[in-house]
C-alpha cells in the first residue's frame, strides 16, 4: 500500500463561489492513488462539478492545497494550470464540449495538437491510436469523418471518452457523462471506459448522482460525507 503513488491529494480545501454567502466546500482531506477508479457521488447541487473543476485547475480554492501527482496546482498561474490540465488530465464534460464543426477524428486528435506530451505519450502515430480508440468504443470507420453535431448523444459521449483517453493522461475526470443514458447503456459505457483506463494505468474520477453505478468502481467517495458544509 505504501508504494502507491498519490494521483490526487487534497488538504484543508475551502471553496466559496463569489457572491455566495457561505462556503460550498470544506474538505479536510481526499487521497486518490494512481490507477484507482473512484466513484464520486453526491446529490444535485452538492458541489461535485465544482470539485472536479478545482481538481482540473479550472477553479482555484480560497484555502487549502490540491496536489496532482505531487504538484500543488492551485499555486500555479492560470496559463500553467491550463498547460498542466491539457498535458495530464482528460476531462469528460457533462455536455461533452466537443467541437461541433470538426469531425469525430479531428475532435479525438485535438489534445495531441494542444499538447506535445500527450502526443509523445503514444508509442505509435496518434492517428492510429485515435482510430483504435474509436473502434474499441464502437464508433465504426464509416462515420469517422462525420461532424460531431450529426451524432447521437451516445455516440458523442464515446467520442468525448476517446478524446479524454488519447495521449494517456494521468487522470480522467468525468462529470456525469452518462446521465442522459439508460442504465444498461451506462454500465456498458463504463465498462469500456474502465478497461481503457486500466490498460493505460489512468486514474479515473467519475462523478454521478446515481448510486446504482457505485458497484462498478474500486472505491466510492460520498461528497456529503467528506464535506463539512451541508448542501444539496
User: Using CB under 5 A, which of the segments 34-42, 45-53, 72-80, 152-160 binds Mg ion?
Assistant: 45-53
**Residue with cell string 442522459:** 180
Strands 25-33 and 6-15: antiparallel
Which of 16, 35, 49, 117 is close enough to bind Mg ion by CB under 5 A? 49
Nearer Cβ to ligand ADP, position 45 or 125? 45
From CA 77, how far away is CA 32, in angstroms rounded?
24
| CB-CB contact of 46 with 213 (8 Å) | no
**Residue with cell string 479524454:** 164
And the C-alpha cell for 135? 473502434
| CB-CB contact of 170 with 89 (8 Å) | yes
What minimum distance in Å lies between the beta carbon of 206 and ligand ADP?
13
DSSP class of 5: P
CB contact burial 191-214 (16+ within 10 A = b; e otherwise)? ebbbebbeebebbbbbbbbeeebe
What minimum distance in Å lies between the beta carbon of 74 and ligand ADP?
17
Which of 28, 44, 198, 199 is close enough to bind ligand ADP by CB under 6 A? 44
Which of 5, 28, 45, 138 is close enough to bind ligand ADP by CB under 6 A? 45
Residue 39 contacts ligand ADP per CB under 6 A:
no
What minimum distance in Å lies between the beta carbon of 44 and Mg ion?
7
Residue 47 contacts ligand ADP per CB under 6 A:
yes
Residue 49 contacts ligand ADP per CB under 6 A:
yes
| CB-CB contact of 148 with 98 (8 Å) | yes
Distance from first CA to last CA of the chain, Å, rounded? 34
Binding residues for ligand ADP, total number by CB under 6 A: 11
Residue 180 contacts Mg ion per CB under 5 A:
no
Nearer Cβ to ligand ADP, position 10 or 133? 10
Site residues for Mg ion per CB under 5 A: 48-49
Site residues for ligand ADP per CB under 6 A: 17, 20, 24, 42, 44-50
Amino acid at each position: 500500500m505504501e508504494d502507491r503513488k498519490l494521483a490526487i491529494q487534497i488538504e484543508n480545501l475551502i471553496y466559496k463561489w463569489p457572491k455566495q454567502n457561505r462556503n460550498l466546500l470544506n474538505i479536510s482531506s481526499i487521497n486518490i492513488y494512481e490507477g484507482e477508479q473512484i466513484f464520486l457521488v453526491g446529490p444535485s447541487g452538492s458541489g461535485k462539478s465544482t470539485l472536479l473543476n478545482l481538481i482540473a485547475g479550472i477553479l482555484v480554492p480560497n484555502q487549502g492545497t490540491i496536489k496532482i501527482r505531487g504538484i500543488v496546482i492551485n499555486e500555479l498561474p492560470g496559463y500553467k494550470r491550463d498547460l498542466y490540465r491539457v498535458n495530464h488530465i482528460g476531462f469528460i464534460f457533462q455536455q461533452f464540449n466537443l467541437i461541433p464543426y470538426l469531425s469525430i477524428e479531428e475532435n479525438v486528435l485535438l489534445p495531441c495538437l494542444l499538447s506535445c506530451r500527450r502526443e509523445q505519450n503514444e508509442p505509435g502515430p496518434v492517428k492510429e491510436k485515435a482510430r483504435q480508440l474509436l473502434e474499441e468504443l464502437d464508433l465504426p470507420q464509416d462515420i469517422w469523418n462525420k461532424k460531431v453535431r450529426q451524432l447521437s448523444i451516445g455516440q458523442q459521449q464515446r467520442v468525448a471518452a476517446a478524446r479524454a483517453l488519447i495521449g494517456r493522461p494521468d487522470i480522467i475526470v468525468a462529470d456525469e457523462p452518462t446521465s442522459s443514458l439508460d442504465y444498461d447503456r451506462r454500465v456498458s459505457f463504463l465498462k469500456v471506459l474502465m478497461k481503457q483506463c486500466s490498460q493505460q494505468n489512468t486514474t479515473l474520477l467519475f462523478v454521478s448522482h446515481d448510486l446504482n453505478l457505485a458497484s462498478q468502481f474500486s472505491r466510492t467517495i460520498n461528497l456529503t460525507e467528506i464535506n463539512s458544509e451541508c448542501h444539496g
